[in-house]
Amino acid sequence: MAHALITGGAGFIGSHLAEALLAAGHEVTIIDDLSTGRFENVEHLTADKRFKYAIEDIRNETVMDRLVSECDLIYHLAAAVGVNLIVSAPIDTISINVSGTETVLRIARRYRRKVLLASTSEIYGKSTKVPFSEEDDRVMGPTTRSRWSYAASKALDEFLALAYYREVGLPVVIFRLFNTVGPRQRGRYGMVIPRFVQWALRGEPIQVYGDGKQSRCFTNVRDVVQAIIGLADAPQAIGQVYNIGSTEEITIYDLAVRIREKTGSESEIVLVPYERAYAKGFEDMRRRVPDISKIRRTIGWEPTIPLDETWDEVIA
Protein backbone atom coordinates (compact mmCIF):
# COMPACT_ATOMS: atom_id res chain seq x y z
CA MET A 1 0.00 0.00 0.00
CA ALA A 2 1.28 3.45 -0.93
CA HIS A 3 0.99 6.87 0.64
CA ALA A 4 -0.22 9.27 -2.06
CA LEU A 5 -0.03 13.06 -2.00
CA ILE A 6 -2.67 14.79 -4.13
CA THR A 7 -2.16 18.48 -4.89
CA GLY A 8 -5.49 20.16 -5.57
CA GLY A 9 -7.02 17.28 -3.63
CA ALA A 10 -10.15 19.17 -2.57
CA GLY A 11 -11.03 19.89 -6.16
CA PHE A 12 -13.53 18.05 -8.32
CA ILE A 13 -11.18 15.41 -9.77
CA GLY A 14 -8.80 15.37 -6.80
CA SER A 15 -11.55 14.49 -4.33
CA HIS A 16 -12.73 11.56 -6.47
CA LEU A 17 -9.13 10.37 -6.81
CA ALA A 18 -8.68 10.55 -3.03
CA GLU A 19 -11.85 8.45 -2.53
CA ALA A 20 -10.69 5.79 -4.99
CA LEU A 21 -7.21 5.51 -3.47
CA LEU A 22 -8.59 5.19 0.05
CA ALA A 23 -11.06 2.55 -1.14
CA ALA A 24 -8.09 0.61 -2.58
CA GLY A 25 -6.38 0.63 0.83
CA HIS A 26 -3.86 3.43 0.36
CA GLU A 27 -3.01 6.36 2.61
CA VAL A 28 -3.88 9.77 1.16
CA THR A 29 -2.76 13.30 1.98
CA ILE A 30 -4.16 16.25 0.07
CA ILE A 31 -3.04 19.85 -0.17
CA ASP A 32 -5.37 22.55 -1.49
CA ASP A 33 -5.63 26.29 -0.95
CA LEU A 34 -9.42 26.13 -1.62
CA SER A 35 -9.19 28.82 -4.29
CA THR A 36 -11.26 26.64 -6.62
CA GLY A 37 -11.59 23.45 -4.56
CA ARG A 38 -14.00 23.05 -1.66
CA PHE A 39 -13.46 21.41 1.71
CA GLU A 40 -16.97 19.97 1.44
CA ASN A 41 -15.66 17.72 -1.36
CA VAL A 42 -13.45 15.80 1.08
CA GLU A 43 -15.09 16.44 4.46
CA HIS A 44 -16.63 12.95 4.43
CA LEU A 45 -13.11 11.47 4.19
CA THR A 46 -11.80 13.08 7.38
CA ALA A 47 -13.16 10.27 9.56
CA ASP A 48 -10.69 7.88 7.90
CA LYS A 49 -7.40 7.77 9.83
CA ARG A 50 -5.53 7.15 6.57
CA PHE A 51 -6.63 10.56 5.23
CA LYS A 52 -4.82 13.82 6.03
CA TYR A 53 -5.16 17.31 4.61
CA ALA A 54 -3.33 20.61 4.47
CA ILE A 55 -5.07 23.87 3.55
CA GLU A 56 -2.16 25.65 1.93
CA ASP A 57 -0.70 26.93 -1.35
CA ILE A 58 1.55 24.40 -3.11
CA ARG A 59 4.09 27.21 -3.58
CA ASN A 60 4.75 27.10 0.18
CA GLU A 61 8.01 25.15 0.02
CA THR A 62 8.22 24.44 3.76
CA VAL A 63 4.85 22.70 3.81
CA MET A 64 5.44 20.93 0.49
CA ASP A 65 8.83 19.64 1.63
CA ARG A 66 7.28 17.98 4.66
CA LEU A 67 4.36 16.47 2.70
CA VAL A 68 6.54 15.15 -0.12
CA SER A 69 9.04 13.63 2.34
CA GLU A 70 6.20 11.65 3.91
CA CYS A 71 4.60 10.33 0.70
CA ASP A 72 5.49 7.64 -1.85
CA LEU A 73 4.15 9.34 -4.98
CA ILE A 74 2.52 12.60 -6.01
CA TYR A 75 -0.59 13.22 -8.08
CA HIS A 76 -0.15 16.85 -9.14
CA LEU A 77 -3.62 18.16 -10.01
CA ALA A 78 -3.42 21.66 -8.51
CA ALA A 79 -3.91 24.33 -11.18
CA ALA A 80 -5.92 27.38 -12.12
CA VAL A 81 -8.71 25.97 -14.30
CA GLY A 82 -11.87 27.03 -16.11
CA VAL A 83 -12.26 29.44 -19.00
CA ASN A 84 -13.86 32.15 -16.84
CA LEU A 85 -10.96 32.14 -14.38
CA ILE A 86 -8.33 32.00 -17.13
CA VAL A 87 -9.76 35.03 -18.93
CA SER A 88 -10.34 37.09 -15.77
CA ALA A 89 -7.17 36.20 -13.82
CA PRO A 90 -4.30 35.43 -16.21
CA ILE A 91 -1.58 36.42 -13.69
CA ASP A 92 -2.73 33.81 -11.15
CA THR A 93 -3.25 31.27 -13.93
CA ILE A 94 0.35 31.54 -15.09
CA SER A 95 1.88 31.82 -11.62
CA ILE A 96 -0.02 28.93 -10.01
CA ASN A 97 0.47 26.61 -12.95
CA VAL A 98 4.13 27.30 -13.67
CA SER A 99 5.55 28.21 -10.24
CA GLY A 100 3.44 25.58 -8.50
CA THR A 101 4.56 22.81 -10.84
CA GLU A 102 8.20 23.86 -10.61
CA THR A 103 7.96 23.68 -6.80
CA VAL A 104 6.42 20.21 -6.91
CA LEU A 105 9.04 18.87 -9.33
CA ARG A 106 11.99 20.39 -7.48
CA ILE A 107 10.93 18.89 -4.14
CA ALA A 108 9.98 15.56 -5.76
CA ARG A 109 13.52 15.39 -7.12
CA ARG A 110 14.90 15.94 -3.62
CA TYR A 111 13.09 12.84 -2.34
CA ARG A 112 12.98 10.85 -5.64
CA ARG A 113 9.17 10.67 -5.71
CA LYS A 114 7.19 9.72 -8.82
CA VAL A 115 5.01 12.57 -10.14
CA LEU A 116 1.75 12.10 -12.07
CA LEU A 117 1.23 15.49 -13.74
CA ALA A 118 -2.24 16.59 -14.85
CA SER A 119 -2.22 18.49 -18.13
CA THR A 120 -5.02 19.42 -20.50
CA SER A 121 -6.50 19.09 -23.98
CA GLU A 122 -6.04 22.87 -24.21
CA ILE A 123 -2.43 21.96 -25.07
CA TYR A 124 -3.56 21.33 -28.66
CA GLY A 125 -4.76 24.92 -29.02
CA LYS A 126 -6.48 25.75 -32.31
CA SER A 127 -5.27 22.66 -34.14
CA THR A 128 -7.82 21.25 -36.59
CA LYS A 129 -6.16 17.82 -36.83
CA VAL A 130 -8.78 15.67 -35.13
CA PRO A 131 -8.52 13.36 -33.23
CA PHE A 132 -5.64 14.83 -31.23
CA SER A 133 -2.64 12.53 -30.79
CA GLU A 134 0.04 13.03 -28.13
CA GLU A 135 2.74 13.67 -30.76
CA ASP A 136 0.73 16.18 -32.81
CA ASP A 137 1.92 19.75 -33.39
CA ARG A 138 0.21 22.40 -31.31
CA VAL A 139 -1.39 25.60 -32.71
CA MET A 140 -1.51 28.43 -30.18
CA GLY A 141 -3.32 31.74 -30.40
CA PRO A 142 -1.53 35.09 -29.97
CA THR A 143 -0.16 36.26 -26.63
CA THR A 144 -2.44 39.31 -26.82
CA ARG A 145 -5.38 37.02 -25.99
CA SER A 146 -5.21 35.82 -22.40
CA ARG A 147 -7.47 32.88 -23.22
CA TRP A 148 -4.32 31.04 -24.40
CA SER A 149 -2.32 31.68 -21.22
CA TYR A 150 -3.63 28.48 -19.63
CA ALA A 151 -2.61 26.31 -22.60
CA ALA A 152 0.83 27.94 -22.70
CA SER A 153 1.37 27.52 -18.95
CA LYS A 154 0.43 23.84 -19.05
CA ALA A 155 2.71 23.30 -22.05
CA LEU A 156 5.55 24.76 -19.99
CA ASP A 157 4.58 22.39 -17.15
CA GLU A 158 4.95 19.48 -19.54
CA PHE A 159 8.30 20.69 -20.89
CA LEU A 160 9.55 21.15 -17.34
CA ALA A 161 8.37 17.71 -16.17
CA LEU A 162 9.96 15.98 -19.16
CA ALA A 163 13.17 17.94 -18.58
CA TYR A 164 13.30 16.64 -15.00
CA TYR A 165 12.80 13.12 -16.35
CA ARG A 166 15.44 13.34 -19.08
CA GLU A 167 18.06 15.37 -17.23
CA VAL A 168 17.91 14.01 -13.68
CA GLY A 169 15.88 10.82 -14.04
CA LEU A 170 12.83 11.95 -12.05
CA PRO A 171 9.99 9.48 -12.73
CA VAL A 172 7.14 11.51 -14.24
CA VAL A 173 3.97 10.60 -16.12
CA ILE A 174 1.91 13.28 -17.90
CA PHE A 175 -1.79 12.87 -18.63
CA ARG A 176 -3.84 15.30 -20.71
CA LEU A 177 -7.42 15.49 -19.49
CA PHE A 178 -10.22 16.20 -21.91
CA ASN A 179 -13.62 17.34 -20.64
CA THR A 180 -14.22 15.52 -17.34
CA VAL A 181 -17.67 15.54 -15.75
CA GLY A 182 -19.41 14.23 -12.64
CA PRO A 183 -20.76 15.02 -9.17
CA ARG A 184 -19.08 17.91 -7.30
CA GLN A 185 -18.13 19.77 -10.46
CA ARG A 186 -19.24 23.41 -10.38
CA GLY A 187 -20.12 25.72 -13.24
CA ARG A 188 -18.61 28.74 -11.53
CA TYR A 189 -15.42 28.73 -13.60
CA GLY A 190 -17.00 27.95 -16.97
CA MET A 191 -17.61 24.18 -16.79
CA VAL A 192 -20.46 23.70 -19.21
CA ILE A 193 -22.49 20.70 -18.00
CA PRO A 194 -23.05 21.83 -14.39
CA ARG A 195 -23.98 25.30 -15.68
CA PHE A 196 -26.51 23.87 -18.14
CA VAL A 197 -27.97 21.56 -15.47
CA GLN A 198 -28.32 24.39 -12.95
CA TRP A 199 -30.06 26.66 -15.45
CA ALA A 200 -32.36 23.84 -16.58
CA LEU A 201 -33.35 22.86 -13.02
CA ARG A 202 -34.12 26.49 -12.22
CA GLY A 203 -36.09 26.99 -15.43
CA GLU A 204 -33.69 29.75 -16.46
CA PRO A 205 -32.47 30.29 -20.05
CA ILE A 206 -29.70 27.85 -21.00
CA GLN A 207 -26.96 30.05 -22.44
CA VAL A 208 -24.95 28.48 -25.27
CA TYR A 209 -21.87 30.51 -26.16
CA GLY A 210 -21.01 31.09 -29.81
CA ASP A 211 -23.05 29.27 -32.46
CA GLY A 212 -23.30 26.07 -30.43
CA LYS A 213 -21.74 23.99 -33.21
CA GLN A 214 -18.45 23.56 -31.33
CA SER A 215 -18.16 19.98 -30.09
CA ARG A 216 -16.64 18.28 -27.06
CA CYS A 217 -16.18 14.77 -25.65
CA PHE A 218 -17.23 14.31 -22.01
CA THR A 219 -15.81 11.62 -19.72
CA ASN A 220 -17.15 10.48 -16.35
CA VAL A 221 -14.78 11.37 -13.52
CA ARG A 222 -14.84 7.77 -12.26
CA ASP A 223 -13.46 6.55 -15.59
CA VAL A 224 -10.81 9.29 -15.51
CA VAL A 225 -9.69 8.35 -11.99
CA GLN A 226 -9.22 4.72 -13.05
CA ALA A 227 -7.04 5.87 -15.96
CA ILE A 228 -4.87 8.04 -13.68
CA ILE A 229 -4.37 5.24 -11.15
CA GLY A 230 -3.63 2.80 -13.95
CA LEU A 231 -0.89 5.06 -15.30
CA ALA A 232 0.60 5.41 -11.81
CA ASP A 233 0.88 1.63 -11.57
CA ALA A 234 2.46 1.19 -15.03
CA PRO A 235 6.30 1.39 -15.06
CA GLN A 236 6.27 1.69 -18.86
CA ALA A 237 4.29 4.96 -18.59
CA ILE A 238 7.21 6.85 -17.01
CA GLY A 239 8.49 9.64 -19.24
CA GLN A 240 5.38 9.47 -21.44
CA VAL A 241 2.38 11.67 -22.24
CA TYR A 242 -1.16 10.28 -22.46
CA ASN A 243 -4.58 11.55 -23.50
CA ILE A 244 -7.45 10.66 -21.15
CA GLY A 245 -10.91 11.24 -22.52
CA SER A 246 -13.98 9.91 -24.27
CA THR A 247 -14.25 9.78 -28.05
CA GLU A 248 -18.05 10.26 -27.99
CA GLU A 249 -18.53 13.69 -29.57
CA ILE A 250 -21.48 16.05 -29.06
CA THR A 251 -22.08 19.69 -30.04
CA ILE A 252 -22.69 22.16 -27.23
CA TYR A 253 -26.13 23.06 -28.63
CA ASP A 254 -27.15 19.40 -28.74
CA LEU A 255 -25.82 19.06 -25.20
CA ALA A 256 -28.16 21.84 -24.07
CA VAL A 257 -31.11 20.13 -25.79
CA ARG A 258 -30.34 16.76 -24.18
CA ILE A 259 -29.94 18.25 -20.70
CA ARG A 260 -33.21 20.15 -21.07
CA GLU A 261 -34.91 16.86 -21.99
CA LYS A 262 -33.22 14.95 -19.17
CA THR A 263 -34.33 17.47 -16.52
CA GLY A 264 -37.84 17.88 -17.93
CA SER A 265 -37.14 21.60 -18.08
CA GLU A 266 -38.93 24.22 -20.17
CA SER A 267 -35.87 26.47 -20.24
CA GLU A 268 -35.27 28.44 -23.41
CA ILE A 269 -31.95 27.79 -25.19
CA VAL A 270 -30.31 31.07 -26.19
CA LEU A 271 -27.15 31.74 -28.16
CA VAL A 272 -24.77 34.24 -26.53
CA PRO A 273 -21.90 35.77 -28.56
CA TYR A 274 -18.44 34.94 -27.19
CA GLU A 275 -17.55 38.60 -26.81
CA ARG A 276 -20.52 39.07 -24.50
CA ALA A 277 -19.71 35.94 -22.49
CA TYR A 278 -15.96 36.44 -22.19
CA ALA A 279 -14.11 39.21 -24.01
CA LYS A 280 -13.75 40.78 -27.43
CA GLY A 281 -11.77 38.57 -29.79
CA PHE A 282 -12.27 35.42 -27.70
CA GLU A 283 -11.25 32.28 -29.61
CA ASP A 284 -12.53 28.77 -29.03
CA MET A 285 -11.61 25.28 -30.22
CA ARG A 286 -14.20 23.97 -32.67
CA ARG A 287 -13.61 20.29 -31.93
CA ARG A 288 -11.80 18.56 -29.07
CA VAL A 289 -11.56 14.83 -29.67
CA PRO A 290 -8.77 12.65 -28.23
CA ASP A 291 -6.91 9.78 -29.80
CA ILE A 292 -6.76 7.31 -26.88
CA SER A 293 -4.96 4.47 -28.66
CA LYS A 294 -1.74 5.10 -26.68
CA ILE A 295 -3.29 4.71 -23.22
CA ARG A 296 -5.30 1.74 -24.49
CA ARG A 297 -2.09 0.03 -25.60
CA THR A 298 -0.28 0.85 -22.34
CA ILE A 299 -2.84 -0.07 -19.66
CA GLY A 300 -5.88 -1.27 -21.61
CA TRP A 301 -8.00 1.71 -20.54
CA GLU A 302 -10.99 3.17 -22.28
CA PRO A 303 -14.09 4.89 -20.89
CA THR A 304 -16.96 2.60 -19.87
CA ILE A 305 -19.61 4.93 -18.39
CA PRO A 306 -22.11 6.27 -20.98
CA LEU A 307 -22.88 9.97 -21.19
CA ASP A 308 -26.52 9.42 -20.21
CA GLU A 309 -25.43 7.93 -16.88
CA THR A 310 -23.01 10.81 -16.29
CA TRP A 311 -25.74 13.39 -16.89
CA ASP A 312 -28.06 11.55 -14.46
CA GLU A 313 -25.36 11.72 -11.75
CA VAL A 314 -24.81 15.45 -12.25
CA ILE A 315 -28.55 16.19 -12.31
CA ALA A 316 -29.08 14.18 -9.10
Which tens digit of pLDDT belongs to each residue from 264-278? 999 999 999 988 877
Domains assigned to the chain: 3-181+219-247+290-303 (3.40.50.720)
Give me the residues paired with residue 128 across strands: none
Q: What is the mean pLDDT of the chain?
A: 93
Of the chain, the percentage scoring pLDDT greater than 70 comes to 96
What's the confidence (pLDDT) of residue 139?
93
pTM for the complete prediction? 0.94
Mean pLDDT, residues 281-309: 93
Q: How far apart are CA 210 and CA 273, in angstroms?
A: 5
Angstrom CA distances, 51 to 22, 72, 230, 271, stand at 8, 14, 21, 45
Q: What are phi and psi of 115, to 5 degrees?
A: -120, 125
Measure CA 264 to chain center: 29
Say which residues have a Cβ less than 8 Å from residue 231's Cβ, sequence separation at least 6: 116, 173, 175, 237, 242, 295, 298, 299
Angstrom CA distances, 148 to 19, 93, 103, 139, 164, stand at 32, 11, 23, 10, 25
Q: How far apart are CA 238 and CA 264, in angstroms?
A: 46
> Is 209 among the residues known to form the active site?
no
Tell me which of 39-48, 162-171, 278-287, 306-315 is least confident: 278-287
| Given 53, 75, 124, 150, the catalytic residue | 150
Within 10 angstroms of residue 84's Cβ, the number of other Cβ atoms is 16
Q: Do residues 287 and 131 touch, judged by C-beta distance below 8 A?
A: no
